[in-house]
Structure 1
Amino acid sequence: MQFQGTADYIADKDLLVAVNAAIQLERPLLVKGEPGTGKTELARQIASALGLQLIEWNVKSTTKAQQGLYEYDAVSRLRDSQLGDARVNDVRNYIRQGKLWQAFTAPDKAVLLIDEIDKADIEFPNDLLQELDRMEFHVYETGETVRAKVRPVVIITSNNEKELPDAFLRRCFFHYIRFPDAETLARIVEVHHPGIKQELVRQALTRFYEIRETPGLRKRPSTSEALDWIRLLVSDDVDPADLGADIRTALPKLHGALLKNEQDVHLFERLAFMARRER
């Protein structure tokens, strides 16, 4: 089972090596990188390319590790017992399977995506150590042990918002997705916008990287934001020559696709104002 990338996802050699190494070692693949660099999409493309079911667990700040295993609805069971419902006699009626349970009991190999693990509490990764290592967990309410029929391909993403525990990191194969260079990003643009004018791409990406490297920028635009911006440029039929203005003299065209907070907008306004004063 080898992942070779797809026509819709540009993956460099190092990323392909990381994916296939994790599959061979049967270890979770921990993927870090800036938001918008395709970490979540990677899991979807792996599932698509290998013909596997994708099971997504989107982690939030309030997510607990137990929710990935199962949840026991004791309140509903108590209510049903008060109403004399016959369902109360079987505790299984009140257990909801989590994403790990679904992945472990899938009839065939699946891809399990644990997305943005760094959003959760710091203890969240530690609470999953044994389950991800042994591929099994115990259900206390029924006394059963759920074991993986076929070990899933586990993809874990992180935006690097907080450090993950060393014990957790030891159990993962790690890869950092670097922000693509101009040549790679141009290939990504071509995938999303086949036949786009190359002069527009060249001017847009030159402008885009100038914006990313502007000193003092609080949030640098990501790959997904570059694609949104270029889509708008194509939709508005913007002349490539109009994108060649000095970055210090004007806000970028359709800048709302790239600049996502008022501090960065004010930064470019100040740069333009100062440049005009110097003339």
Structure 2
Amino acid sequence: MQFRSTETYVAPPDLTVAVNAAVALERPLLVKGEPGTGKTELARQVAASLGLEMVEWNIKSTTKAQQGLYEYDAVSRLRDSQLGDERVNDVKNYIRKGKLWQAFEADRKIVLLIDEIDKADIEFPNDLLQELDKMEFHVYETGETIRAAHRPVVIITSNNEKELPDAFLRRCFFHYIRFPDAEVMKQIVSVHFPDIKDRLLAEALTQFYEIRETPGLKKKPSTSEVLDWLKLLLAEDLDPEDLRREGANLLPKLHGALLKNEQDVHLFERLAFMARRQGR
């Protein structure tokens, strides 16, 4: 099973090596990188490239590790017992399978995505150590042990909002997705917009990387945001000349696709003001 770039996803060589190494080692692949660099999409493309189904577990700040295994609905069982429902005689009727259980009981190898693990409580990764290492867990209410029939390909993403425990990191193969340079970005854009004109793309990417490198920028625009921007430029049928920024007009055309907070908009407005003063 070898992962490689697909028709809709450009994977740099180092990312391809990381995915295939994690698959060969049968260890979770921990992927970090700026938001918008394709971490979540990677799991979908790995599944597509390897011809596997995918189970996706999106982590929130309130998510507990136990929810990934199963949840026992004691309240519903109590209510049904009061109503004389015969379902109460089988505790399995009140157990909801979590995403790990679904992945473990699959009849063939699948891809399991644990998305944005750093959003959860700091103890969340530690609570999954044994389950991800041994690929099994115990259901106390029924006394059964759930074991993975086929070890899934586990991909875990993190935006680096919290430090992950060392014990958890030791069990993972790690890869940091670097922001793509201009040449790789051209390949990514060509996948999404194969008919875009070279001059327009060159001007747009020049401006995009200049914006990213502007000192004091609070949120750098990401890959997904430049794709949205290019889609708008094509929809407006703009020429490279229409994108040129001069003097008082340092904000890019349709800048709302790239700049996502008022501080960054004000930054470019201040730069334009300074440029006007210097030009007097």
Question: If the TM-score is normalised by the length of the shorter chain, which range does it land in?
Answer: over 0.9
Query: Which residue in 1 is equivalent to 2:121?
Result: 121
- Cα 1:89/1:248, change in 2 over 3 Å: farther
Distance in 2 between residues matched to 1:171 and 1:226, nearest whole Å:
35
The secondary structure found in structure 2 opposite 1:57 is strand
Match of 2:69 in 1: 69
**Partner deviation per Cα, 1:178-222 (whole Å, 9 max, x = no partner):** 000001001101100111111111000000000001110000000
- Tell me, in whole angstroms, the C-alpha distance in 2 between the residues paired with 1:248 and 1:115: 42
- Partner of 1:76: helix, strand, or coil? helix
Match for 1:163: what amino acid? E
- Aligned residues of 2:245 and 2:251 also touching (Cα < 8 A): no
**Structure 1 portions without partners, runs of 5+:** none
Q: Does 1:32 align with 2:32?
A: yes
- Equivalent position amino acid for 1:77 in 2: R
2:203 aligns with 203
Which residue in the other structure is 1:98 paired with? 98
CA contact (8 A) 1:43 1:113 kept: yes
Percent of aligned positions with the same letter in both sequences? 78
Mean Cα deviation higher: 266-275 or 215-224:
266-275
Structure 1 residue 244: Cα displacement: 2.5
CA distance in 1, matches of 2:57, 2:170: 22
Assess, with a 3 A threshold, how the Cα gap between structure 1 residues 49 and 247 changes in structure 2: closer, same or farther.
farther
- Mapped to 1, the partners of 2:116 and 2:193 lie a distance apart of 28
8 A contact 2:247–2:275 mirrored in 1: no
- Write out aligned runs for 1:31-50 (5 A): 31-50=31-50
Partner of 2:158: 158
2:21 counterpart of 1:6: no
Q: Using a 3 Å threshold, how does the CA distance of structure 1 residues 175 and 22 change in structure 2: closer, same or farther? A: same
Any idea what SS the aligned residue of 2:11 has?
coil
CA drift at 1:242: 2.0
SS of the residue 1:231 aligns to:
helix
Q: Report the residue type matching 1:58 in the other structure.
A: N
Preserved contact between residue 55 and residue 113 of structure 2 (Cα < 8 Å):
yes
SS of 1:145's equivalent?
strand
Closer, same or farther: CA 156–247 of 1 in aligned 2, 3 Å: farther
Deviation at 1:248, TM superposition (A): 7.1
Q: SS of the counterpart of 1:156?
A: strand
**1:43-62 maps to which residues of 2 (within 5 A)?**
43-62=43-62
Instruction: Give 1:50 deviation, angstroms.
Output: 1.0
Query: Which ranges of structure 2 fall in alignment gaps of 5 or more residues?
Result: none
Correspondence 1:133 to 2:123 = no
Partner secondary structure for residue 7 of structure 2: coil
Deviations 1:48-76 (A, max 9, x none): 11111100000000000000000011111
C-alpha change, 1:206 and 1:247, in structure 2 (3 Å) is farther
Deviations 1:14-62 (A, max 9, x none): 1010000000000000000000000000100111111111000000000
Which aligned segments of 4 or more residues in structure 1 are displaced greater than 6 angstroms? none
Q: 1:32 to 1:153 in 2, by over 3 A?
A: same
Distance 1:248 1:48 in 2: 47
Tell me how many residue pairs correspond in the alignment: 279
- Structure 2 CA distance for aligned equivalents of residues 5 and 185 of structure 1: 14
The 3 A distance-change label for structure 1 pair 157 and 83 is same
> Aligned partners of 2:77 and 2:248: how far apart in 1?
65
- Conserved? CA contact 1:112–1:155, under 8 Å: yes
